[in-house]
Amino acid sequence: MSKKEGEIIFPLKPAGPPKVWKIIETKNKDTGASTKFSIQEIPEDRYQEVIDHMCKYFIEDEPISNSLNGINDPDYVETFKNFWEKFLEQGLSVAAFTENVNGGKPILAGCNMLGLSFKEEEFDYNTIKSKNGLKVVKAIIEVSKKANVYEKYGVDKYMTAFGLSVNPSYRGAALGGHLLNARVDIGREYNISVTSTAFTSPISQKLAARCGFETLIEKDYVDMVDEKGNQLFPEIKVKSLKIMSKKLF
């Protein structure tokens, strides 16, 4: 269903077939076999599959969620499901699909959940039932605000993201980089000049840097504490969170 934020009406993508941003071909390092992937907008009939993919792989792999054992917390999973549903409604999210050799629908190999962030919007924390989910969202929003993306780039909106994940069967094919780079085409198509995201692991941070993202702010997890001074994520195994941004045109 469409909804309006200021002058923006969602979904942004027009009716009709999803736009294909790029067709890429990769070779398996072991077998030499080639595989083609379509980097494209996500068809509505694949939305639930994309959400299931994110719940299965992203929540398991992402360092903060992993440290909180989010995969085994139904309320935590539900929190992120709700975010991803709203992002999909905006029509910006991108996925990598490959041909199904057995026939049927193309196989979902990976996706990046994209949406718009607006300068004047205030997040309603009361919508989050999960204690750990609330802790994560508050921490990311607070660090993101300190990055001053709107002021730095002179914009009133930017493209953000809430998770990039590749199916383990297709890792090693550089799909993460292709999904990140698709933001350039998406931004130009929908007149969004800047993208900014919280990258929570050293792997995603290195990938973003290779794709031309600059670090605006870095926050060590040991320095993320509650009002009593207790660490928010004491079990996390990586060093820091980075807010990283890129001009798209």
Options 3.40.50.360, 3.40.50.2300, 3.40.50.1100, 3.40.630.30; which CATH number does 20-247 get? 3.40.630.30
Quick one: pLDDT band at residue 173, thresholds 50, 70, 90? confident
Rounded CA Rg of the chain: 18
In the prediction, which pLDDT does 7 show? 64
Give the pLDDT confidence of 131-166 residue by residue, as tens digits. Answer: 999 999 999 999 999 999 999 999 999 999 999 999
In the prediction, which pLDDT does 32 show? 77
Integer CA distances (angstroms), 8 to 64, 85, 139, 170, 192, in order: 32, 18, 27, 35, 11
Integer CA distances (angstroms), 159 to 23, 36, 191, in order: 22, 27, 10
Does position 115 have pLDDT exceeding 90, yes or no? yes
Give the pLDDT confidence of 68-108 residue by residue, as tens digits. Answer: 999 999 999 999 999 999 999 999 999 999 999 888 899 99
Amino acid at 200: T
CA dist., res. 174 & res. 166, Å (int) = 10
Give the pLDDT confidence of 20-73 residue by residue, as tens digits. Answer: 999 999 887 777 788 999 999 999 999 999 999 999 999 999 999 999 999 999
Does position 4 have pLDDT exceeding 60, yes or no? no
In the prediction, which pLDDT does 2 show? 41
Mean predicted confidence (pLDDT) in 159-185: 96
Q: Is 172 left (phi over 0), alpha (psi -120 to 50) or beta?
A: left
